[in-house]
Amino acid sequence: MPEGAQICPRCNRAEPADADFCYCGFVFPKPGQRGSEPPARPIAIDAPQPAVPDKTLLVVQCARASVIAPFVSVLLAGMTGFRIEVGGATTAILVAIDWGLLLFGLLAAVFALIRVKTQGPKGLLIPGIIGALLNGFLIASIVYMFIAL
């Protein structure tokens, strides 16, 4: 040990006599003082952020659903077309679901278009108009076919 060195009580490392603190963080006492521990610092750990679900507004979801509903309805009607000849309760249920999808799509589009004034047009106006036109056209054409028969 060199002459005039001081030993750290925490890590037993030899430091020069004029050192104010040790490499480990221990603060050497000045004459007339006691040694002190440095204040504890919080350890910064980059913890993974919790998964936050996408908080898309209900209005935006309705606008998107109004565009998707007619396509699902046409797909369901295409799958039901072969069952209509057979008839039965299953066919009636599928036709009711088909009509329900079209009405839901139209109502969701109208709801989205009404809320454009308060929510702003971003993400609402174009899907709302497209959904209203598609659902309205399909409902009008089905009603026209039933009246024509």
- The string of pLDDT tens digits covering residues 41-63 is 555 566 666 555 455 688 889 99
Q: What is the pLDDT of residues 15-40, one digit of tens each?
A: 887 888 787 878 877 766 665 555 55
Domain of residue 98, residue span: 58-148
| pLDDT given at position 14 | 84
For the entire predicted model, the pTM comes to 0.59
- The tally of domains found in the chain comes to 2
* 81 and 127 both lie in a single domain: yes
Q: Decide: residue 76, CB within 10 A, 0-12 exposed, 13-18 middle, 19+ buried.
A: middle
Q: Mark whether 70 and 124 lie in a shared domain.
A: yes
Q: How far apart are CA 13 and CA 141, in angstroms?
A: 90
pLDDT tens track for 85-144: 666 777 778 888 989 999 999 999 999 999 988 888 888 899 999 999 999 999 999 889
4 lies in the same domain as 67? no
Instruction: Based on the fold, state whether residues 80 and 11 are members of the same structural domain.
Output: no
